Amino acid sequence: MLMPKSKIVKLMLRLLGVFIGVLLIVLLIIPLLGPGWHLFHGDFISYEGWRIPVPKGFYVRQSQKGPTMWKQTFGIPFFDTSYGHLSLYRLSPAQQPFAYDKDYSRFENGVTQEAIQSGYQLKTKRVASVGKSSGYCLEFIRPLGEARSTVRCAVENSVVVLFYEGDSKYVSDVFATLQGMSLETTKGGSLYQYDGENGFTRTYDASKLYLRRLLPACLFGTIFAV
């Protein structure tokens, strides 16, 4: 027996309401991932011997190559809205730490060629202070008026490389992160470790030692925190 047309319409309206409700929940939750990450995990991560600040509004996930920081705004993933994606990864084990005199030319040529192939053009070259070292950066932009940028940075005497792609308005956060990096130390300071196998964060500093669990992986994935 077929359902009356009025009941079919009511059922469709209910399903539509559920769909719209779920869509709104997703749209509202995503912009809160950054503030929520900072609330639970603080403002820094540890990677390859560096203590690295996480920009305000960004949250951190772990990828195969290293930690990635995301800034996502209202409308993602259904609409084309502003975003920022900052990745950190290390050079291959066969490579030595970056040295300006012997590595910069190859770094600049390779990065520039890759960016041009992806539709970017060089905007500026920058040198930033990174702890006691220097970071050498190339910033590229879209030539057709799009507010999209990409940045590549290599740090002197380090195996860490920084990569950014996203909205141009977050480029300042990239350089703030780079300039806020500092080498970790255990002398009167802190030792930060991430145990990805157990999902624990261990933090030691001269006055306290504690363990805390990370947020469920279903929300943030595998997350770095201190």
Q: Which domain holds residue 64?
A: 24-220
With the CA atoms of 178, 136, 167 and 221 taken in that order, what torsion angle do they form, in degrees rounded to the nearest 10?
Answer: -50
Q: Across the strands, what pairs with 139? A: 124, 151
Euclidean distance between CA atoms 30 and 76, whole angstroms = 7
With the CA atoms of 9, 15, 18 and 23 taken in that order, what torsion angle do they form, in degrees rounded to the nearest 10?
Answer: -110
CATH number at residue 103: 2.60.120.1690
Euclidean distance between CA atoms 96 and 107, whole angstroms = 13
Residue 197 in this model has a pLDDT that exceeds 50: no
What's this model's pTM, rounded to 2 decimal places? 0.70
- Look at residue 2 and tell me if it is in a domain: no
- Look at residue 191 and tell me if it is in a domain: yes
- Look at residue 13 and tell me if it is in a domain: no
pLDDT in tens, 153-189: 999 999 999 999 999 999 999 999 999 999 987 544 4
Whether the Cβ atoms of residue 136 and residue 154 lie closer than 8 Å to each other:
yes
- Look at residue 6 and tell me if it is in a domain: no
pLDDT band at residue 22, thresholds of 50, 70 and 90? confident
pLDDT band at residue 203, thresholds of 50, 70 and 90? very low
- Look at residue 7 and tell me if it is in a domain: no
Alpha carbon 134 to its chain centroid, in Å, reads 21
Strand, coil or helix: what is 61?
A: strand
Check residue 27 and give its pLDDT: 67
Euclidean distance between CA atoms 26 and 77, whole angstroms = 9
pLDDT in tens, 60-111: 988 788 899 999 877 766 667 788 999 998 888 778 999 999 999 999 999 9
Residue 208 in this model has a pLDDT that exceeds 70: no
Q: How many domains in the chain?
A: 1
Check residue 156 and give its pLDDT: 94
